[in-house]
Protein backbone atom coordinates (compact mmCIF):
# COMPACT_ATOMS: atom_id res chain seq x y z
CA UNK A 1 0.00 0.00 0.00
CA UNK A 2 1.39 3.25 -1.01
CA UNK A 3 -0.23 5.02 1.85
CA UNK A 4 1.62 2.97 4.29
CA UNK A 5 4.84 3.76 2.62
CA UNK A 6 5.13 7.04 4.33
CA UNK A 7 4.30 5.54 7.59
CA UNK A 8 6.81 2.88 7.03
CA UNK A 9 9.33 5.39 5.99
CA UNK A 10 8.61 7.47 8.99
CA UNK A 11 8.86 4.42 11.09
CA UNK A 12 12.13 3.68 9.61
CA UNK A 13 13.18 7.22 10.06
CA UNK A 14 12.14 7.09 13.59
CA UNK A 15 13.77 3.82 14.19
CA UNK A 16 16.79 4.93 12.37
CA UNK A 17 16.77 8.16 14.27
CA UNK A 18 16.40 6.43 17.51
CA UNK A 19 19.14 4.08 16.65
CA UNK A 20 21.37 6.72 15.37
CA UNK A 21 20.63 8.91 18.20
CA UNK A 22 21.13 6.18 20.62
CA UNK A 23 24.19 5.01 18.86
CA UNK A 24 25.51 8.46 18.57
CA UNK A 25 24.64 9.07 22.11
CA UNK A 26 26.19 5.88 23.09
CA UNK A 27 29.22 6.51 21.10
CA UNK A 28 29.28 9.95 22.32
CA UNK A 29 28.95 8.79 25.78
CA UNK A 30 31.55 6.22 25.17
CA UNK A 31 33.81 8.64 23.59
CA UNK A 32 33.13 11.18 26.07
CA UNK A 33 33.71 8.77 28.78
CA UNK A 34 36.60 7.18 27.13
CA UNK A 35 38.24 9.79 25.27
CA UNK A 36 36.85 13.01 26.11
CA UNK A 37 36.66 12.90 29.85
CA UNK A 38 32.97 13.00 30.18
CA UNK A 39 32.52 16.03 28.21
CA UNK A 40 29.18 16.37 26.93
CA UNK A 41 30.22 17.53 23.61
CA UNK A 42 30.90 14.05 22.25
CA UNK A 43 27.56 13.02 23.53
CA UNK A 44 25.90 15.87 21.88
CA UNK A 45 28.14 15.43 18.94
CA UNK A 46 27.38 11.85 18.78
CA UNK A 47 23.70 12.33 19.31
CA UNK A 48 23.67 15.26 17.05
CA UNK A 49 25.55 13.35 14.46
CA UNK A 50 23.32 10.54 15.01
CA UNK A 51 20.30 12.67 14.77
CA UNK A 52 21.61 14.45 11.81
CA UNK A 53 22.38 11.22 10.13
CA UNK A 54 18.97 10.02 10.95
CA UNK A 55 17.47 13.19 9.62
CA UNK A 56 19.48 12.93 6.51
CA UNK A 57 18.66 9.33 6.08
CA UNK A 58 15.06 10.08 6.65
CA UNK A 59 15.15 12.85 4.19
CA UNK A 60 16.92 10.76 1.67
CA UNK A 61 14.57 8.00 2.24
CA UNK A 62 11.67 10.26 1.81
CA UNK A 63 13.20 11.78 -1.29
CA UNK A 64 14.40 8.58 -2.70
CA UNK A 65 11.43 8.24 -4.94
CA UNK A 66 12.18 11.45 -6.65
CA UNK A 67 15.76 10.80 -7.22
CA UNK A 68 15.88 7.62 -9.13
CA UNK A 69 19.66 7.66 -9.66
CA UNK A 70 20.08 4.12 -8.74
CA UNK A 71 19.65 1.13 -10.85
CA UNK A 72 16.10 1.23 -12.11
CA UNK A 73 15.49 -2.29 -11.34
CA UNK A 74 16.76 -2.04 -7.83
CA UNK A 75 14.79 1.18 -7.47
CA UNK A 76 11.67 -0.47 -8.72
CA UNK A 77 12.22 -3.35 -6.44
CA UNK A 78 12.62 -0.91 -3.62
CA UNK A 79 9.55 0.91 -4.76
CA UNK A 80 7.45 -2.09 -4.78
CA UNK A 81 8.32 -3.20 -1.29
Smallest distance, other proteins to C-beta of residue 59, A: 5
Distance in Å, CB of 4 to other proteins, minimum:
8
Closest residue by Cα to residue 16 from 48, 49, 51, 45? 51
Q: Find out whether 61 and 12 touch, Cβ atoms under 8 Å.
A: yes
Minimum distance, C-beta of residue 26 to other proteins, in the bound complex (Å): 23
Q: Choose between 6 and 34: whose C-beta lies nearer to other proteins.
A: 6
Give the Cα separation of 52 and 54 in Å (integer).
5
Q: Which is nearer to other proteins, 9 or 39 (CB)?
A: 9
Amino acid sequence: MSERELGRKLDRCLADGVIKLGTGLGLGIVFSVLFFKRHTWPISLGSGAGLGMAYSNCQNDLRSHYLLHRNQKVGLDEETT
